[in-house]
Amino acid sequence: MTLSRFEVFYTIVQCGSLTKAGEMLKLTQSGISHAITSLENELGFSLLTRNRSGIHLTNNGERMLTYIRDILILNEGMKQEAAAINGLEVGVVRIGAFTSVATQWLPYIIKQFQDHYSGIKIKLFEGDYSTLEQWVSGGVIDCSFLVLPSSKSFKFLPLKRDRMVCILSEQHPFHKLDKISFKQIESEPLIMPREGWDNEISQIFRENNIKPNVKFEVSDDQTIMAMVQNNLGISIRPEMTLSYIPDHVRKVNLEKDCFRLIGIATKTNVSPATRKFIDYAQSWLKEHNLLDV
């Protein structure tokens, strides 16, 4: 068995397509198919099924995926460590992020990081909180920007406290309030982020014994904003998601200060390139007065 065949298999799983995997690895489709067939022959069972709906892992493929992913991660870490010993800065860093960080921080951090470390390649993965935690835990990504994760198995570097506020339409009778009470929130139709995006809001409700009147559940920030704008309900959002507030929408503070804690989560051991990126991201936030912990 060779690492190149492992890489082909893992890339196909990530892309969900032989063609896309071939494009990413710069291999012909026949070369991709040959690598998978050879790996399956060596293992003695099939790893993938192919049908009209795409490529899917077999049960045995699922069992092998974790081992193959770990082998590739260890190999990448070894290459980076050897390069660091030789005074070189090379490697791949797979970074996870949720929407507000991916739009407001990462374009600038990645651009400047790659200007300084051109030998380190960045791959970006976007998802909701629970998906990002699963990706870190499973080794799909090397690190992720997250709110304080639910799993205590992660290392977590706190970066910023992001204030939570209530948003409502200026047609709403509460729109001129300086603060809105939790009792008032309970009495109003609420537009709630879908499960996976709602960690910090659910925590506020639990800690303050709030029983919300959830009218809608949606996952997109702009959809929430549009629904609030049309007075279909109120919502609670982190301030970082409110860089653009449309006309006729107002922010109102909660009766007491509440925050989501944004940081970077990793497993215990990280590669030299990942450590370099985390240090750079922290420095960039400090330089731009965004570090707040």
Nearest-angstrom CA–CA distance, 84 and 113: 17
In this prediction, residue 87 has a pLDDT band, given cuts at 50, 70 and 90, of low
Residue 192 within a domain:
yes
- The mean pLDDT value for 100-123 works out to 93
Among 27, 44, 71, the domain boundary falls at 71
Q: What percentage of residues in the chain have a pLDDT greater than 70?
A: 98
Among 50, 71, 92, the domain boundary falls at 71
In this prediction, residue 293 has a pLDDT band, given cuts at 50, 70 and 90, of confident
Residue 117 identity: Y
Residue 20 has pLDDT above 90, yes or no: no
Residue 110 within a domain:
no
- The mean pLDDT value for 63-83 works out to 86
Digit-coded pLDDT (tens) for 213-249: 999 999 888 899 999 999 999 999 999 999 888 889 9
> How do 179-180 and 259-266 pair as beta strands?
unpaired
pLDDT at 161: 95
3-state SS track over 120-186 = EEEEEEECCHHHHHHHHHHCCCCEEEEECCCCCCCEEEEEEEEEEEEEEECCCCCCCCCEECHHHHH
Residue 106 has pLDDT above 80, yes or no: yes
- The mean pLDDT value for 145-170 works out to 89
pLDDT at 260: 93
Which of 29, 39, 48 shows the shortest CA–CA distance to 3? 39
Chain centroid to Cα 87, Å, comes to 31
Residue 81 within a domain:
no
Digit-coded pLDDT (tens) for 181-195: 999 999 999 999 888
Nearest-angstrom CA–CA distance, 90 and 253: 46
* CATH code (residue 13): 1.10.10.10
Q: Which two tokens stand for residue 214?
A: 């959830």
Q: Which two tokens stand for residue 196?
A: 């996976």
End-to-end Cα, the chain, rounded Å: 48
- CA–CA distances in Å: residue 218 to residues 130, 172, 192, 215, 267: 16, 21, 6, 10, 30
Residue 248 within a domain:
yes
* CATH code (residue 222): 3.40.190.10
User: What does the longest C-alpha to C-alpha distance in the chain come to?
Assistant: 70
Residue 36 within a domain:
yes
Residue 289 within a domain:
no
Residue 285 within a domain:
no
Nearest-angstrom CA–CA distance, 235 and 237: 6
Residue 142 has pLDDT above 80, yes or no: yes
Q: How many structural domains comprise the chain?
A: 2
Question: Which of 13-17, 49-53, 260-264 is modeled with the greatest confidence?
Answer: 260-264
pLDDT at 214: 92
Q: How many CB atoms lie within 10 A of CB 46?
A: 16
Residue 149 has pLDDT above 70, yes or no: no
- Contact yes or no for 233/225 (Cβ under 8 A): no
Which of 62, 69, 31 shows the shortest CA–CA distance to 46? 62
DSSP code at position 16: T
Q: Record the pTM.
A: 0.74
In this prediction, residue 88 has a pLDDT band, given cuts at 50, 70 and 90, of low
Which of 204, 199, 189 shows the shortest CA–CA distance to 234? 189
Among 71, 87, 118, the domain boundary falls at 71
The domain containing residue 241 runs over which residues? 164-259
- The mean pLDDT value for 145-173 works out to 90
Residue 25 within a domain:
yes
- CA–CA distances in Å: residue 29 to residues 17, 20, 34, 51, 55: 10, 9, 9, 16, 14
